[in-house]
Amino acid sequence: MALSGTKAQEATLGQYGSIFTDSATAAVVPPDGYIICAITFMADAVLKADGGLVAENAGTNKKKFMSTQNASHTTGTDEEGTGGIQIANNNIFPKGLTIYGRWKQFQLKDADDDGGVICYLAPKH
């Protein structure tokens, strides 16, 4: 379900919470009832290969959000486009980039002592 109206505006302003990490030790997982809706990279970063970015719909036949688990938008159905590929463990997300989606887990490949990331939260519904 997409965020709309007030919920979308509040999520863009970080009103539902945020999580900072510069560690690769453990995955960032939002609390029950929430998803990660945006991630801002404060330094160049690489994601962990397995579990680095897990889409809310990972493992379903509707892969709408990029992830390290599987490719999104590959089937060409009404709900999914074509051309997407899985995020590799050597893809660099540059400093200053913010990505948007619906994820249930995030993890860096290596510790990032010179920057880190901020994950912004939003309610699932």
Q: How does pLDDT run across 90-123, given as a tens digit for each residue? A: 999 999 999 999 999 999 999 998 999 999 999 9
E strands, 12-73, in order? 18-21, 34-41, 45-46, 53-55
CB neighbour list of residue 30: distance below 8 Å, 6 or more residues apart? 19, 36, 104, 119, 121
H-only helix segments in the chain: 5-12
Query: What are the tens digits of pLDDT across the range 11-30?
Result: 556 789 999 999 999 999 99
Two tokens, residue 79? 């709900």
* Residue 42 exposed, middle or buried by CB count within 10 Å (0-12, 13-18, 19+): middle
19 or 1, higher pLDDT: 19
The mean pLDDT value of the chain amounts to 88
Q: Smallest Cα–Cα separation from 41: which of 96, 2, 88, 83?
A: 96
pLDDT at 37 over 70: yes
Whole-number percent of the chain with pLDDT over 70: 85
State the residue for tokens 């997982």.
29
pLDDT at 34 over 80: yes
Whole-number percent of the chain with pLDDT over 90: 59
